[in-house]
Amino acid sequence: MKKRLAIIGNGMAASRLLDELLRRNAGASFEISVFGEESRGAYNRILLGRVLSGGEPDEIALKPNDWYAQRGVVFHAGVRVAKVDPVARRLTTSAGELHPYDVCVFATGSSPLVPRVGGLKSDDGSPRDGVHVFRTIDDCVAIRDRARPGSSAVVVGGGLLGLEAAKALCDLGLHVTVLHLEPVLMNAQLDKNGGDLLRRAIEKMGIFVRTGTSAEEVLGNGHVEAVKLRGGDVVPADLVVFACGIVPRVEVAKASGVPVNRAILVNDLLATQVPGVYAVGECAEHAGKVYGLVQPIWEQCAVLADVLTGANPRARYLGSKVYARLKVAGVEVASFGVTDAEFPSDEVVQVFEDRRGVYRKLVVRDGKLAGAMLVGCADAAPALVQMFDRDEPLPPNRLDVLATGNAPTTATEREVCNCNHVTESAVVGAIRDGCDTLPALCDATRAGTGCGSCRGQLISLLATHVTLASV
């Protein structure tokens, strides 16, 4: 008799977990149900800027609604789980419906962080017209409907999400001002040099940046008219978008008696203290860390699928080396490991190309790569990431590893997609097997389905090898 597996959440982590489970033939031993609060199938939140810029939601879809039934997965669309009863092994939806389970996985992800700001609601208590968060496709559609060329927008948050929203709004013809509490943009990934270079690139696009400040109050009579800053300045605004971070969604876990710290506490099996209950993704905390990047979450899903299906009972999640390669508002950025020297013996190598708007930095420890930062040109990132991931020794001349795309590595093949560890030869092989479009290539290899930063390389490989194949 099959066990009942309930997955709470339908974001990127849940989508990846489903893929990993089905690759291990989980349908033979589980009846799988997915509970998603949104009515649509899973999609790639990292690419939301495309929808805000005017693209169709289908462009970032990971799983259309009919994908689930075609694979024997029951998809409860537009359903919010309110509580899990670990003793009775059943969950309750907000509508009061009861669903039994044998194994339950929390993949609830995160919610947008909205700081305490006055004036978010009108005098009657309703949300003030023109105030939005940037987290879902529906958010993007609502912001796009509000945006008008020539109007003004204030984006609160100078991290990845905030800068993506700002770039999209600027492209739509709005006057855009970004507010960032820290003195450096993307301060979680960049040092002052990298942040300053990124800021100059952002400002060249026509976006105004104000760092070291934040919104104190939203002003307006029923609808947004301006934002008062912490220092007292007032910035006129027809639209305010909050994109200043995320917080793990743990309210259902808390209501269910599942131990929570910053996020849901899990061990190396991705199991919680409560029997039969697991967690993955942005809602999970492992060894004191909560991961918000694609690659660690992919690794968690692979381990959990091994554990649940028995494909590899010895599988354990031991943490991840974190690296990110992204295109931030059109500017290439890669950052991984430590961002600066932490010990007197650490070696720091920095290369500035002011005219090109390029900054490269390495942090070397015991002859190996402890961290790297690339802004403006990240072509060397794939090889550097491989060296970082494999803990390989660096050559005596450190500058050799910063030569664009030529970082020496002992790896036998160059990875194009670091999120999914897809090599160039695998991509070329898929093209030769008939994958002559980007969607087909992504579907066949998984490359480009994580952070999306490798899509440019995939397009280049398609242009080269599809042409060669037709000669």
- Regarding whether 289 and 200 lie in a shared domain, the answer is no
| In-domain check, residue 119 | no
Q: What is the pTM of this model?
A: 0.88
Give backbone dihedrals phi and psi of 444, rounded to 5 degrees, phi first.
-75, -35
Specify whether 169 is located in the same domain as 267: no
Question: Which phi and psi angles does 361 have, rounded to 5°?
Answer: -145, 135
The confidence band for 222, taking pLDDT boundaries of 50, 70 and 90, is: confident
Residues 135, 120: Cα–Cα separation, whole Å: 17
Q: Are residues 301 and 345 in the same domain?
A: no
Tell me: do 334 and 463 sit in the same domain: yes
Looking up tokens 């689930």 gives: 68
CA distance 257 to 83: 9
Between 455-470 and 438-445, two packed helices, what is the crossing angle to 10 degrees? Answer: 110
433 and 332 both lie in a single domain: yes
**Which of residues 244, 273, 295 is at a domain's end?**
244
The mean pLDDT of 278-283, rounded to a whole number, is 98
Q: Based on the domain organization, do 239 and 259 belong to the same domain? A: no
Distance between CA atoms of residues 137 and 197, nearest Å: 30
Residue 314 lies in a domain: no
Q: By the 8 A CB rule, do 146 and 170 touch?
A: no
Average pLDDT over residues 85-110: 97
CB distance 17 to 107 below 8 Å: yes
Q: Do 70 and 142 reside in the same domain of the chain?
A: no
Asked whether residue 251 carries a pLDDT value surpassing 60, the answer given is: yes
Residue burial 235-266, b: 16+ Cβ < 10 Å; e: rest: bebbbbbbbbbbebbbebbeebbbebeebbbb
Residue 433 CB neighbour total at 10 angstroms: 11
Whether 194 and 158 have beta carbons less than 8 Å apart is answered as: no
Looking at residue 422, which CATH number applies to its domain?
Answer: 3.30.390.30
Q: Answer yes or no: is pLDDT of 301 > 80.
A: yes
Asked whether 45 and 292 are in contact (CB, 8 A), the reply is no
- The pLDDT value recorded for residue 127 is 78
Contact predicate 372/337, CB 8 Å: yes
Confidence of residue 321 (pLDDT cuts 50, 70, 90): confident
Question: Concatenated DSSP letters for 387-402?
Answer: HHHHTPBPPSSGGGGG
Q: Look at strands 277-279 and 331-337 and give their pairing.
A: unpaired
User: Where among 309, 335, 350 does a domain terminate?
Assistant: 309
Nearest CA among 253, 8, 250, 243 for reference residue 136: 243
Helix (H, G, I), strand (E, B) or coil at 361: strand
Q: Classify residue 125: in a domain, yes or no.
A: no
Separation of alpha carbons 2 and 24, rounded Å: 15
Beta carbons of 283 and 11 less than 8 angstroms apart: no
For residue 364, give its domain range. 323-470
Same domain, 415 and 329: yes
Task: Looking at the structure, tell me whether residues 450 and 335 fall in a common domain.
Answer: yes
Look at residue 131 in the predicted model and tell me its pLDDT: 94
pLDDT of residue 249: 97
Amino acid at 10: N
**176 and 73, same domain (yes or no):** no
CATH code assigned at 107: 3.50.50.60
* Total domains present in the chain: 3
Question: What local confidence, expressed as pLDDT, does residue 378 receive?
Answer: 86
Same domain, 220 and 265: no
H-helix or E-strand spanning residue 365: strand 358-365
pLDDT of residue 467: 62
Q: Which of 26-35, 58-67, 194-203, 388-397 has the lowest mean pLDDT?
A: 388-397
Instruction: With a cut of 80, say whether residue 448 has pLDDT above it.
Output: no
Measuring CA to CA, which residue among 108, 135, 325 is closest to residue 244?
A: 135
**Rounded (5°) CA angle 1-252-316:** 60
Q: pLDDT digits over 356-389, tens only?
A: 889 999 999 999 999 999 999 888 888 888 888 8
Residue 380 lies in a domain: yes
Only one residue has tokens 């849901």, namely 264
Same domain as 187, residue 63: no
| Distance, CA of 249 to CA of 266 (rounded, Å) | 15
Mean local confidence (pLDDT), 110-114: 93
